[in-house]
Structure 1
Amino acid sequence: MHNVIELFKKHSRLLFISLLIIIIILFSWYYSKNYRKTQIYWDEQFNQHGLKEQECLNSIQYLNKNYNCYILLALLKSIQHEINQQNFYKAEQQLYWAKMHTKDKNLKSLINLRLARVQIQSNKLNNALKTLDLITSTGWVSIAEDLRGDILVKQGDIKSARKVYHKALSSSVSKFSQYLLHIKINNLSS
């Protein structure tokens, strides 16, 4: 018994820290498990019930009356849901509305980029190219040119795609984007 008490006295800090770490791990595991369950539940609820038509009409009326940038971001989330449901026409219409109702240059560039991607999914390649022409913000040009190159490849214009990829490469800041653009350039047939 005396040896056990000495052992506890000698290693009390180590025991305390070990016990604390075990408690933290258990609490973290418990809360992350509950968070995942809650997230799965709400995803299932949203996918099962979706938005009813009257709720959509009420939301649109609310958006028209109370527009601000946060509502626009919520609309972008709604558009993402439409895209996941393969409802490209509705997503395109919502993106046009969002584009008309924003004044922020970066948000407008983001919306135009998403609109171009939806138009590509709808196989409206010429419309997508026109939409990409509207992106002039410095930080977005590289991404727009990358997407323009993808459209040109899809149209079969390899020579123009190569030029556009090189233009995107010269204006790209991200090392990862540069790496992907090099891969795209190398994969183009001569």
Structure 2
Amino acid sequence: MEVYTTENEQVDVIRRFFSENGKALAVGVVLGIGALLGWRYWQSHQSTALAGASVAYQKATEALAANKPEGVKATEQFVQANDNNYGAFAALQLAQHYVDQKDYAAAEKQLAQASTLTKDENLLPLIALRQARLQLQQNKLDDALKTLDGVKGASWSAMVQDIRGDVLVRKGDLKGARDAYSKGIDAKASQAQEALLRMKLNNLAS
């Protein structure tokens, strides 16, 4: 590496460097500043959008819960406009509303839509479990088993096996149901769920 012995030589080298590379440096600085400002704007925009979505979600779902005529329409519009977790939560609320109305086809449609609106690893299994229960309700037994096969993660295992056992009972596969309930118990279920699984297992033996 060259060693510059005088200040004048150092100044000349710096001047030549900027003369030769000034345009590229200027572009780089502009791009760097632009990227930083763009990132900050995007973050600010995202925060503002999510805050707005939170308020709109609360209003729509409160109207839905109060059984107001405009509640269903407002919540459906919210789901269509929000490709995020809030949209998924609203679709779940709508699905429950339709289940209460015994409109299972509409409920299943909302759950399918909810699964496309989020990538949250905790929310997706919950949506899938509700889909499987709804498919069981409609006697779509093979569809329910397929849905359960897509739920991954040890923390969900007890709930998966609980529903799987119910589906297999409906199919007349009592041995498979026993195995499912037993696996659910072994999966370190919560105390309440373990008691429920044991009750179902005992009912099969009687």
Which band: TM-score by shorter chain?
0.5 to 0.7
**Structure 2, gaps ≥5 residues long:** 1-62
The one of 103, 115, 118 equivalent to 1:102 is 118
Identity value in percent: 40
**Structure 1, gaps ≥5 residues long:** 1-41
- Count of residue pairs brought into register by the alignment: 144
Query: Where has structure 1 moved over 6 Å in runs of 4 or more?
Result: none
Please give the residue correspondences for 1:22-41 in structure 2 after superposition, counting only pairs within 5 Å.
none
CA RMSD of aligned residues (A): 2.2
Output the CA distance in 1 between the equivalents of 2:79 and 2:86: 14
The one of 62, 67, 74 equivalent to 1:46 is 67
Q: Compute the displacement of 1:134 (Å).
A: 0.6
Please give the residue correspondences for 1:158-177 in structure 2 after superposition, counting only pairs within 5 Å.
158-177=174-193
The one of 31, 42, 59 equivalent to 2:78 is 59
Q: Compute the displacement of 1:50 (Å).
A: 5.4
**Residues 138-172 of structure 1: CA deviation (Å, up to 9, x unaligned):** 21111011110011111111011001111111003
Please give the residue correspondences for 1:81-92 in structure 2 after superposition, counting only pairs within 5 Å.
81-92=97-108
Q: TM-score, normalised by structure 1?
A: 0.68
Partner secondary structure for residue 67 of structure 2: helix
Report the AA paired with residue 141 of structure 1: S
Output the CA distance in 2 between the equivalents of 1:142 and 1:44: 30
The one of 178, 185, 194 equivalent to 1:178 is 194
Q: TM-score, normalised by structure 2?
A: 0.63
Report the AA paired with residue 100 of structure 1: T
